[in-house]
Structure 1
Amino acid sequence: MVDAWRGRERALRERGVDVRLFSAGRSEEGGEWVALRPRPGEAVEAVDTLGRHPALFLYDPRPLWRSLGEQWDVIDIHEEPFSLATAEILLLRAFRRNRAPVILYTAQNIRKRYPIPFRWFERYALRLASGISACNADAAAIASEKGFAGRARVIPLGIDPAEFTPVPERRSGGRGAGDQHHDVVVGYIGRLVPEKGIDLLLRALALEPRLHLRVAGSGPLGASLPARALALGVAHRMTLIGAVEPDEVATFYRSVDVIAVPSLTTPRWTEQFGRVAVEAMASGVPVVASDAGALPDVVGGAGLIVRQGNVPELATALVSAGGERASDLIAAGALRAAECSWTSVADDYIALYRSVTHAEGPDPASAVEIVVVAYGRPDLLRAALEPVAGMPLTVVDNSSLPEIAELCTEFGVRYIDPGRNGGFGAGVNRALVDRLVPGADVLLLNPDARITSGQIAVLQNALRSDRRLASVAPSQVDESGRPARVEWRFPSPGNAWREAIGLSRLQRGARFVIGSVLLLRAEALDQVGGFDEAFFLYAEETDWAYRAQSLGWRHTLVPAARVVHVGAATSSDGHRRDAHFHASQERYFRKHFGAIGWQSARVATWGGAMFRAAVLPGARGTEARRRAALYRLGPMRVESRLRDAS
């Protein structure tokens, strides 16, 4: 709608992306109706809308229907997942049978439970989406918590650096740089509402006589602001400018020494980005912001962050930012603002588009990086490392044993001690945070498994032969040469019932491969993200594979590759191991099928175990009775009791 906000599409077109943009013909922005005004030759189509609320309006479906009848590589919906407009577009897409992957946008960084049907809209949209663009880290995390299968990407809102540029004296620090005694002109621009913290600025002026304030904006507090300043004795140091036209915003930034963003979080609102802060930094103006919402992430180390509502801290920071720290903040702000330029934002979106279309980069991964998560048993780890020690390899030691650290030094591989036993998934994620070979495929190797570099090459050749494959695994045998099952159907309530009544051979659904030796495709890792650390032990690879499958990936066994896997060699307590295994199954069912799906699978497993306990003799019957008791009590509850007892 707003011309400046269409900079993303213009930057994408400059990079050769064919973008067809549909925008509301008019909408309410900042309390005023704004009409779409395309630039000459700009490829944007105005669409009539019904409704005024950002989450409760609908588009005229006719132009969208026509466009969805065409073939597109990506459908990018810049609306919240819970919104009525998102539901409308996804419904039209379904009726049109358009299979292009969908990307959604979110800024919602407060955990809200929406009323029906918006809760349903949100859940459906997040489960259908192939990608998420979030303008702050909390919004990305919330999208994943609510059901998005992949890695939500944090992509900032953009600015035009050609519009927001510093005047020459700003580049060298401005007029007050290094001077702790000169007056500091503080700027505020935005809505004049209580949650924006404008009253805090007036109180900061009352505390610090060197501060002067220029206020640009309009809103409910506009009429009472002069009286409030007078009551605090700072009216002579405050100038109320009123609303500023968009083409005058940059000039306003350059007229002040510091921009303040002293927002206050409320139960229903917090800062979702803070574009003002980025624009000010691009204009060569230091920024002081509160720690409300996304502001600390947006400002980063390029500005000063103060605690919400702390007036003395705010006053001190404003004086410092406009004086002794001005030069450093201006330099850091310029670097941060460059990361939010439309060109940088466009690059981030192109990477996202390539990810959801499963496009290989110009140089597809040829290297393999190995990750081993160890817990005790240095003898087994030695056997695992010997055949692959010359490859890029990281050992994450959840047991923090000096012997394992020494073993890694001996083999010349990277050793990481996370300082705690967070489980297998947490260990893998720790290694993925700091990659030895960025962009390489990743082999997950259990410390009780052995594979050679030649077998790894066979695995990677199979993985790279099909661009739809997210993971591959070799065939496995134990130390006696007995084959072990590697490929399985995904667990589901239906499959749980089939197994309970003895019809496992009739199980349905896609397949995955287990993770004792598992090669993950770099592009799939990029889209799906790391492992869910709620799975302490077992089912973490099942969960990852299910999420990848939801995003259009596949998994397969590679019979030509063969490894030896001892199995359960790092755990000697069978009862505890079973509790962890079935607790992870409960987490998996609850996460992907909800409470009802879990209860269905639980009843099926309990019923099947009770039947086997009644008919099977000896140890098999005893094991079935133990399984039935575990599911009667609840595996996660039993696991929790075991942890408390230890």
Structure 2
Amino acid sequence: MTGAVTHAMRVLRVAHHGVVTPWRQRERELRKQHVDVTLVSAKRWNEGGKNIDLHAGQDHFVTGVRTFGTHPNAFVYSPVPLWKLLGQRWDLIDLHEEPFSLAAAQVLAMRRLRGLRTPFVLYSAQNIYKRYPVPFRWFERYALRRTAGVYVCNSEAGEILQRKGLRAPARLIGLGTDVSVFTPSERQRPQTPVRVGFAGRLESHKGAHVLLTAISEAPQYQLDIAGDGPQRPELEALADTLGIADQVAFRGHLGDQLPDFYRELDVLVVPSLPTPGWLEQFGRVVIEAFASGVPVIASRTGALQDVVADAGILVEPGDPQAIREALAVVTDTVRWSTLRDAGLHRAQQFDWPSIATEQLTFYQEALTPVDNPEAPPEIVVVAYGPAEPLADAIRPLTGFSITIVDNSSSAETRDVAELYGAHYIDPGGNLGFAAGVNMALDSLEQRGLSTSDVLLLNPDATVTAESIRSLHVGLHENPHLACVAPVQKHPRTGVPERVSWPFPGPGAAWLEAIGLGRLNNRAGFIIGSVLLLRGSALADVGRFDERFFLYAEETDWQLRAVKRGWKTGLVSEATATHVGAGTGGDSVRRMEMFNTSLLAFMDKHYGRTGEFSFRAAVLAGALARAAVARGDTRDRAKWRLRFYTRAPRAGGVGER
């Protein structure tokens, strides 16, 4: 990701809907704010039931590109013009296409083929959680794990993307309206007969048939329908059947005449119907009507609820009687005037200059590094037990900011902290390692340091300042690393010790049980005695799970990180020593806590069946070793037999 842009920001924006002239206002306003934006649009696209050809007019910044395919998420652009455009220098690529779409995948594939590192942002309006088929699911995963940010037109879309693995911020930016075009009439009261309007594509989920039914028992209303689509013949037939053909005017696709259409109305009804595969994602017609001084009645569904807010009237979807009752309320002269004023005020929040300002702020945030490789990491030590090893651990780290959480509430530990200028926290009891780390992270946040990288250091481990700097460099050489660890050596012999291990699981346990554990060479987690965590990974993955009192907490955090697309790694240039068992009490108690945490880990990530399978594998392996092994190996096997036979189920942990 690049740093702050000092020249005029150059943005390549790809949005097939730019074929509609009024919908290029975002780009016009961005250019007024000194953003050098180039828009790639479809040369021809179907909008509102009508094929529209691109007319650039004075918009010299727009380039029309031929498209292949007609579905908004299953089309591609002609590759040659895109390839040429990507060959220019850009600060940012803005893909106003869904992350799972073919168009987004095409642009990102060409970006990679060109060897570009230009950051990109995405757009989404999808407010229903959907698991797409391959390869669309792969497209989405790739895009979400690499984007510098996503802007959404409804809050649900951002929440869904975060559930799917989005690591970057999701910013809510509504769709804009040109309030210089959509302007109110001078009329101060409803007309007689009252003019009711509908604007949108004529499809069943838009609910126009519900509106026809609503006015079938209300001869005081004249209904004007703007738009076209496959349901039009059915709606015309319904109007005849209901005997209201003379009350209904089908105006077709109005294009540039739409602002005049709104000014003719007394009320706009948006009767959208939720379906299993579709919810209203914004409702642009609501803001257009508001800006035109037209009160709005809308279904309480999808994003309409947020867009309308308290400036209009919401009714239950599919209820003609509720629409009739709302019409009676709206057309009261006093109520009509109140709603008209509220709508005009609401529309100002969606005027194009305001939307462009939000878009520019979003761009600037996307170009601002989330991680700062220049800032040294914060060091966090969760201490318990004697103070002498702690003093040995932090003595070489002069110049680093250190936070010590003292689970033993020891005066000696406090003295060590004060001696070396560390920030000291006494939690008032032994909360465990995970809770201690979280308490330190809370303290860093309160001190304005929550975006920093964090080095977790055991009090019985030692690492030099130079090795910490090597760790930091190694971490930031790969933007996908959530954490790194140094090579660890035995403090007396200098022999390297194992730091990286495969993630534990039922399958791995069965391999170990039958003596084939050496075949499990998959990448996994690194031990937490000296562990450098990336600040943005902490923000993305979340805090440590405090249900793990001691052991498995760093394993759990790293598995959660890997599930969200991060990686773990070792930095061979950095070294450390670790005595081990410095804060865990006697060996039997440590084994009990370790294996209890393992069972909790299995329950959390593999469920009840996974925990049972893991327990069965450990028992099978322990039984075999107790029968054939000798010495310490046989004693440990017998201990595991006793523990896993008697240990209660770790139920209730669950995913978090």
TM value normalised by structure 2 = 0.65
Aligned AA for 1:581?
A: F
Which among 289, 292, 298 is matched to residue 289 of structure 1? 298
1:78-100 per-residue CA deviation (whole Å, 9 max, x = no partner) reads 22233322232222222211122
Q: Which runs of 5 or more structure 1 residues have no equivalent in the other structure? A: 373-378, 389-403, 408-422, 451-458, 476-484, 560-564, 588-594
- Residue 463 of structure 1 deviates from its aligned partner by 9.4
Q: Which residue of 2 aligns with 1:175?
A: 189
Tell me, yes or no, if structure 1 residue 277 matches structure 2 residue 259: no
Which among 580, 601, 618 is matched to residue 581 of structure 1? 601
Aligned AA for 2:600?
A: H
Q: Which residue of 1 aligns with 2:308?
A: 299
SS at match of 1:10: helix
Provide the alpha-carbon RMSD of the alignment: 6.3
Q: Structure 1 residues 297, 575: CA separation in 2 closer, same or farther (over 3 Å shift)?
A: farther
- Residue 256 of structure 1 deviates from its aligned partner by 1.7
Which among 547, 558, 564 is matched to residue 542 of structure 1? 558
**Cα distance in structure 2, aligned partners of 1:573 and 1:84:** 49
Q: Which residue of 2 aligns with 1:136?
A: 154
Tell me, yes or no, if structure 1 residue 242 matches structure 2 residue 262: no
Q: Which residue of 2 aligns with 1:206?
A: 216
- Residue 309 of structure 1 deviates from its aligned partner by 0.9
- Residue 280 of structure 1 deviates from its aligned partner by 1.5
Q: Which residue of 2 aligns with 1:9?
A: 27
Q: Structure 1 residues 550, 15: CA separation in 2 closer, same or farther (over 3 Å shift)?
A: farther
Q: Structure 1 residues 519, 26: CA separation in 2 closer, same or farther (over 3 Å shift)?
A: same
Which among 53, 69, 72 is matched to residue 90 of structure 2? 72
Asked whether the 8 Å contact 1:474–1:517 carries over to 2, the reply is: yes
Asked whether the 8 Å contact 1:187–1:258 carries over to 2, the reply is: yes
Q: Which residue of 2 aligns with 1:415?
A: none
Q: Structure 1 residues 67, 311: CA separation in 2 closer, same or farther (over 3 Å shift)?
A: same
Aligned AA for 1:265?
A: P
Asked whether the 8 Å contact 1:535–1:584 carries over to 2, the reply is: no
- Residue 627 of structure 1 deviates from its aligned partner by 9.6
Asked whether the 8 Å contact 2:56–2:62 carries over to 1, the reply is: yes
- Residue 329 of structure 1 deviates from its aligned partner by 3.6
Q: Which residue of 2 aligns with 1:317?
A: 326
Q: Which residue of 2 aligns with 1:376?
A: none
Q: Which runs of 5 or more structure 2 residues have no equivalent in the other structure? A: 1-18, 383-405, 419-426, 429-433, 460-467, 487-496, 577-581
**Cα distance in structure 2, aligned partners of 1:321 and 1:276:** 18
Aligned AA for 1:124?
A: Y
Q: Which residue of 2 aligns with 1:353?
A: 363
Asked whether the 8 Å contact 1:471–1:519 carries over to 2, the reply is: yes
Q: Structure 1 residues 221, 31: CA separation in 2 closer, same or farther (over 3 Å shift)?
A: closer
Aligned AA for 1:298?
A: V
**Cα distance in structure 1, aligned partners of 2:623 and 2:94:** 50
1:111-132 per-residue CA deviation (whole Å, 9 max, x = no partner) reads 4444444344334333443433
Q: Which residue of 1 aligns with 2:6?
A: none
Q: Structure 1 residues 580, 85: CA separation in 2 closer, same or farther (over 3 Å shift)?
A: same
Q: Structure 1 residues 252, 353: CA separation in 2 closer, same or farther (over 3 Å shift)?
A: same
Which among 227, 252, 255 is matched to residue 217 of structure 1? 227
**Cα distance in structure 2, aligned partners of 1:618 and 1:255:** 89
1:404-439 per-residue CA deviation (whole Å, 9 max, x = no partner) reads 9xx9xxxxxxxxxxxxxxx98xx99xx99xx98999
**Cα distance in structure 2, aligned partners of 1:492 and 1:578:** 8
TM value normalised by structure 1 = 0.65
Q: Which residue of 2 aligns with 1:191?
A: 201
Q: Which residue of 2 aligns with 1:158?
A: 176
Q: Structure 1 residues 248, 583: CA separation in 2 closer, same or farther (over 3 Å shift)?
A: same
Tell me, yes or no, if structure 1 residue 254 matches structure 2 residue 263: yes
Q: Which residue of 1 aligns with 2:104?
A: 86
Which among 123, 139, 155 is matched to residue 121 of structure 1? 139
- Residue 275 of structure 1 deviates from its aligned partner by 0.9
How do residues 412-423 of structure 1 correspond to structure 2 at under 5 angstroms?
none
Q: Which residue of 2 aligns with 1:396?
A: none
Q: Which residue of 2 aligns with 1:617?
A: 633
Higher Rg of the two aligned structures: 2
How do residues 449-464 of structure 1 correspond to structure 2 at under 5 angstroms?
none
Aligned AA for 1:78?
A: H
Instruction: Indicate the percent of aligned positions where both proteins have the same amino acid.
Output: 36
**Cα distance in structure 2, aligned partners of 1:535 and 1:287:** 50
Aligned AA for 2:239?
A: A
How do residues 537-576 of structure 1 correspond to structure 2 at under 5 angstroms?
538=553, 541-542=557-558, 545-546=561-562, 550=566
- Residue 348 of structure 1 deviates from its aligned partner by 3.4
Q: Structure 1 residues 44, 607: CA separation in 2 closer, same or farther (over 3 Å shift)?
A: farther
Q: Structure 1 residues 121, 201: CA separation in 2 closer, same or farther (over 3 Å shift)?
A: same
Asked whether the 8 Å contact 2:503–2:559 carries over to 1, the reply is: no
Q: Structure 1 residues 44, 186: CA separation in 2 closer, same or farther (over 3 Å shift)?
A: same
How do residues 338-487 of structure 1 correspond to structure 2 at under 5 angstroms?
338-359=348-369, 441=451
Q: Structure 1 residues 244, 641: CA separation in 2 closer, same or farther (over 3 Å shift)?
A: closer
**Cα distance in structure 1, aligned partners of 2:531 and 2:340:** 50
Q: Which residue of 1 aligns with 2:387?
A: none
Q: Which residue of 2 aligns with 1:102?
A: 120
1:524-560 per-residue CA deviation (whole Å, 9 max, x = no partner) reads 778x48679999994664366558874999999999x
- Residue 496 of structure 1 deviates from its aligned partner by 7.2
- Residue 584 of structure 1 deviates from its aligned partner by 4.1
SS at match of 1:56: coil
SS at match of 2:279: coil
